[in-house]
Structure 1
């Protein structure tokens, strides 16, 4: 079983890094091509392209101009430790042991507009490029067109390595999962839905759902889960499996 997560806009390149485990992303040529396109854009262009504030657009323009093609730990850090949004607060990768990180390396993938697919320990530089960005390249007018079926084919290869059931556990947002060409994946897809009790109804609350995706990924890692049936035991922070609301490929967890 292989999990997929979305990246985060918020980054952390300041906290100490305990582990020395690291790896390199699998699509360096594609990333180099995208960085080359981004380097032709001014801060004002980036602000318009990604709806950024002046400060963020200047920051990201500077990041792309300072890009290093073969980074080491001086310029980059492991993806799971660099991303610092709601999902990653649930994952708490910095608290995982080296043995847990090594196990998760082959069983968790992070979808990325710039890198395509990342493993937990892949070194990444600070960047901002969301998958839904309408960036014109030689391959099309969007990042979905740029990546084509490359992401799906990489995930399919990783499913062969992950072991257990040949299942892709989708813990990513719709924006990012759209980058996966399902027809090229050749695997069963299972998604988890996290709902809160609100005024007598069950609703997905974005902030809580993002955190819960990270909590689920951590649960899988802590319990070395490789079967869908074993996901039903997830009970972090008050969530419980709701069998009556679930189907075989759509697992619902509720709290309230």
Structure 2
């Protein structure tokens, strides 16, 4: 089984763990190439590209200047612990035991506009580069064009017979995977809040629930679809009527 999520804009490289030996991302050379072009961009360009304030653009310009492919321990953190957005608050990796972290190292991957595909142990520095931004470099029109074949091929190389891919990423990020070439069925997810008897999407809760699902799989050593369907954290339950062969829907 492979579980896939998006990264997060919020990061903290002071987080770490004794359960993971730091590793170098598979696509570090590609990340270095992207960064060589990012480094040349002005704060004004970054502000317009990512639709962020001048203050944030200055901060990320500085990150780009300081970025390196082989950072020191105090300049990086394992990806599982470096991202701190809502998905990762739901996952709450700091409170997982060694068995759960080992499960994630084997089964869990994070998509990234800069690093492509990350294992939990992969060292990352502070950065910001969303997959959906129209960042052009060399002959590539955007990051999808650069990453699609590479990420899909890497995922395929890690898949085993009868594996599933659990898509807990956003549409913006999962679009970088070529589902037609992926050698495993993809299971999508929806998480709804029931309001007056009707299912309602609340984005922040959906993100949190994605992280909860990753956590649940790790804590319960999930291997089959039946294991995943048993997800029941924070009041969620499977809705068989709304679910299908390709999508699992959970409500609360």
Q: TM-score, normalised by structure 1?
A: 0.94
Q: Does structure 1 retain, via aligned residues, the 8 Å contact 2:47–2:54?
A: yes
Matching of residue 48 in structure 1 with residue 45 in structure 2: no
Matching of residue 8 in structure 1 with residue 15 in structure 2: no
Matching of residue 206 in structure 1 with residue 196 in structure 2: no
Other-structure match for 2:159: 159
Structure 1 CA distance, aligned partners of 2:120 and 2:91? 11
Q: 1:139 to 1:105 in 2, by over 3 A?
A: farther
Matching of residue 249 in structure 1 with residue 249 in structure 2: no
Q: Which sits farther off after the overlay, 70-79 or 59-68?
A: 70-79
Q: Does structure 1 retain, via aligned residues, the 8 Å contact 2:159–2:183?
A: no
List per-residue Cα deviations over 1:132-188 (Å, max 9, x = no partner). Answer: 01011124111101113111111111223xx7x411000000000000011221210
List, as ranges, runs of 4+ consecutive aligned residues in structure 1 with deviation greater than 3 Å. 14-20
Other-structure match for 2:79: 79
Deviation at 1:20, TM superposition (A): 5.0
List runs of 5+ in structure 1 lacking aligned partners. Answer: none
Root mean square deviation of aligned Cα: 1.4
Q: Which sits farther off after the overlay, 222-231 or 107-116?
A: 222-231
Q: Does structure 1 retain, via aligned residues, the 8 Å contact 2:13–2:75?
A: no
List runs of 5+ in structure 2 lacking aligned partners. Answer: none
List per-residue Cα deviations over 1:42-77 (Å, max 9, x = no partner). Answer: 111100111111111001100110112212312110
Q: Does structure 2 retain, via aligned residues, the 8 Å contact 1:106–1:158?
A: no
Q: Does structure 1 retain, via aligned residues, the 8 Å contact 2:19–2:101?
A: no
Q: TM-score, normalised by structure 2?
A: 0.96
Other-structure match for 2:236: 239
- Counterpart selection for 2:221 from 203, 217, 224: 224
